[in-house]
Structure 1
Amino acid sequence: MRRRLVRVAASGVALLAVVVLGSMAWIGVASAGHVHEPGDAPEAPVVIVLGAKVADGKPMSFLAGRLDVGARLVREGKARAVLVSGDANGTSGNEIAAMTDYLVARGVDRSLIVGDDYGLDTYDTCARAAQTFGVRKALIVSQGNHVSRAVALCRHAGIDADGVKGDCDCRTITVARNTAREWLARPKAVADMLSNRPPKVGSPPDDALERVLAD
């Protein structure tokens, strides 16, 4: 019985490894050639900044790093509008309000910022950017391995997306925690792409970005 349990456990670990490594390979192939440093980023009509935790109404380190790069891309003329996408009713606070205020404080005109209150995860952000806001070409900002997953998901959603690496003045434990989380998130991302599920919250088409870009 003991040997049987060991074999079952070993088989489970091997299967998990195959799933994780396979999903990492899938994401790597899907995002190859489409992840850039901020200085090398191409131009696109809109930059999508993915939400993350806030504290006392202000972005925490991961989110601040993304927003700093998003603001830079606008200042350098590489994007003409910003779509801030996250959870307006998140457990840590209103991510959209915090992101908008942070960008404005760094010189981005408030009229150039559009918020998506229901970007509840990266897949939903990309699906809603395409389906609700009509995004067809965009830059998307996040850190480390996450930006590759974001690119893969947005390209799956029909967006000609390029990723831009976000900054992070983060503690080592924060980076390690988010790296581990990313390993687990990739199999889910592949499953979402295979199922082509609808976003958790559906909305009618919104022309807010179109109006910003038309000005």
Structure 2
Amino acid sequence: MSNRLQPRKLLKLGLRLALLAILGLLLVNGWVRWATADYRFADVASIPSQPVAIVFGAGIRYNQPSAALRERLDGAIQLYQAGRVQHLLMSGDNSQTNYDEVSVMRDYAIAHGIPASAITRDYAGFSTYETCYRAKAIFGVNQAILVTQDYHLPRAIYTCRELGVAAIGLSIPDWNFKPEQSTTYYPPATQIRYTTREWLARCKALFEVHISQPQPTFLGPAVGLGEIASTQK
């Protein structure tokens, strides 16, 4: 009799653990969105000025920004042109000699009227955590506007603020906005994949900033970007 009941007990235990995991996932994601709600802005006109805008990489192809990255860059360019920031920190992946995400980002901004002197490249922004960590530790950024899509922005703000950067954020339109507000089309399957990945990434973010606190892949000498940007006009 006991052998027959064992699979049922294991099934019940598995279901309880699964429910706890789902509940934990919902709580973490709700907390990250709630904790960052006052720091997220939907348009350039309403966002307070800050010395620096941090632009998160989102992939390149044939040495051109991806559609999502192009929208992030356009948002950063608008911030600069509106006088909301004085400097742009481009953070992305340059882990291979034939993949230089941040130089593509810089070249796009320059082609759209941003002076090269107002752009700094972070070649080792391999993740949201590493971008935020390096912004503070390497570039001396204490305050910034983060520029990324709406689905990613809560995690980015939460991570940066926990790592010592008083960050606010500009929400770049995605599927959470009206269709006419985003020029990038996100198929339903992509929306589900990005949302699922982001929910899990928020759990990882809380673990990193509150428990494991890893150092980024690369560190280096301080550049003092925060001081440079704050004195530029």
TM-score (norm 1): 0.92
Q: Distance in 2 between matches of 1:13 and 1:152?
A: 26
Q: Is the 8 A contact 2:146 2:157 kept in 1?
A: yes
**What do residues 121-153 of structure 1 show as CA deviations (whole Å, max 9, x unaligned)?**
111111110111111111001112210111111
Report if the CA contact (8 A) 1:56-1:93 is conserved.
no
CA contact (8 A) 1:126 1:154 kept: yes
Aligned 8 A contact 1:53 1:92 in 2: no
Amino acid at match of 1:157: L
Higher relative contact order, chain-length normalized (CA < 8 Å, sep 6+): 1
Tell me the equivalent position of 2:222: 205
> Partner of 1:26 in structure 2?
31
The alignment yields a C-alpha RMSD, in angstroms, of: 1.9
Give the SS at the match of 1:145.
coil
Give the deviation of 1:91 after TM superposition: 10
Structure 1 unmatched runs, 5+: none
Structure 2 residue corresponding to 1:179, chosen from 195, 202, 217: 195
Q: Report SS of the residue matched to 1:164.
A: strand
**Residue identity (%):** 33
Task: Indicate if the aligned counterparts of 1:55 and 1:92 stay in contact, CA closer than 8 A.
Answer: no
Paired residue secondary structure (1:47): strand
Check the 8 A contact 1:50/1:142 in 2, yes or no: yes
CA distance in 2, matches of 1:29, 1:141: 19
2:179: which partner in 1? none
Q: How does 1:113-128 map to 2 (within 5 A)?
A: 113-128=119-134
Which aligned pairs between 1:143-158 and structure 2 lie closer than 5 A? 143-158=149-164
How far apart, CA to CA, are the structure 2 residues paired with 1:123 and 1:91?
A: 23
AA aligned opposite 2:14: A
User: For the residues of structure 1 that align with 2:33 and 2:40, how far apart are their CA atoms?
Assistant: 10
Q: Check conservation: 2:57, 2:69, Cα contact below 8 A.
A: yes
Tell me the TM-score normalised to structure 2 length.
0.85
What amino acid maps onto 1:214 in structure 2? T
| Equivalenced residues, count | 215
Residue from 119, 135, 143 that aligns with 1:137: 143
Distance 2:93 2:143 in 1: 23
Question: Any conservation in 1 of the 2:73–2:105 contact (CA below 8 Å)?
Answer: yes
| CA–CA separation in structure 1 for the residues paired with 2:200 and 2:35 | 18
